[in-house]
Amino acid sequence: MRILIVTATAAEVAPLTAALRGARHAIDLVTTGVGMVATAVRVSRALTTSEGYDLVLNLGVCGSFRSDLAPGAVVHVIADQLPELGAEDDAGFLTIHDLRLLGQDEFPFTAGQLRNHAPPRNAVLDGLPRVTGVTVNTVHGNEASIARLRERCQPDVESMEGAAFMYACLVHGVPFAQVRAVSNIVERRNRDAWKLGDAIHALGDTALAIIAHA
């Protein structure tokens, strides 16, 4: 089996890469850099120039909008959105779909979201909480903007790369999964409350188990 692991930064998968030496699968790693643009370009390049992958995994950390998804929880993001893609309308916001620049169900979107309709069959992946995400250029740290986003998108988690990864995989038609560990609650910025180390170790353990069952 050929597996591609996609991550924004090397630090997010450091425990995993150390443990993968001698793995039975052929595993490639792409470190894209932070953000949607870097992720979309480098994932597309990897999928275009390779001989094909049986599984593409996006591994990273995220912020949680839900108190029951506390730091250290690992989730499977099966739907993602681009809440900043659109136009301001005075105090309101019009999505790219509201503007009729793209249909709600125009590929690769489904009802305005990027959805993983057929996740890879994997016992570990099946056991993770399935959540919806938003992908942003500016992570939220203001109570008013967080409230507006909750009302408009009803997300579970937030990242800076997830939707771009999913977009590229849907276009290329490869089996994929976006797996993230919660590093913090989305709230007014409070770095002291983050548990980044716990999230990265939980992510590494889960990723190893997913690969072992692949």
pLDDT tens digit string along 102-138?
A: 999 999 999 999 999 999 999 999 999 999 999 999 9
Residue 37: partners with Cβ closer than 8 Å, 6 or more residues away:
164
DSSP label at residue 143: H
pLDDT surpasses 80 at 153: yes
Whole-angstrom distance, CA of residue 90 vs CA of residue 94: 10
On the question of pLDDT at 143 being above 70, the answer is yes
Whole-number pLDDT of residue 24: 67
For 178-201, write each residue's pLDDT tens digit: 999 999 999 998 888 899 999 999
Q: What is the rounded CA–CA span in Å between residue 96 and residue 30? A: 30
Tell me which of 50-54, 83-87, 145-149 is least confident.
50-54
Instruction: Tell me the one-letter amino acid at 13.
Output: V
Pairing label, strands 2-7, 26-31: parallel
Q: Could you tell me the domains of the chain? A: 2-212 (3.40.50.1580)
- Report the alpha-carbon distance of residue 145 to residue 5 in Å, rounded: 32
Give the number of other Cβ atoms within 10 Å of residue 164's Cβ.
27
Nearest alpha carbon to residue 119 among 111, 110, 128: 128
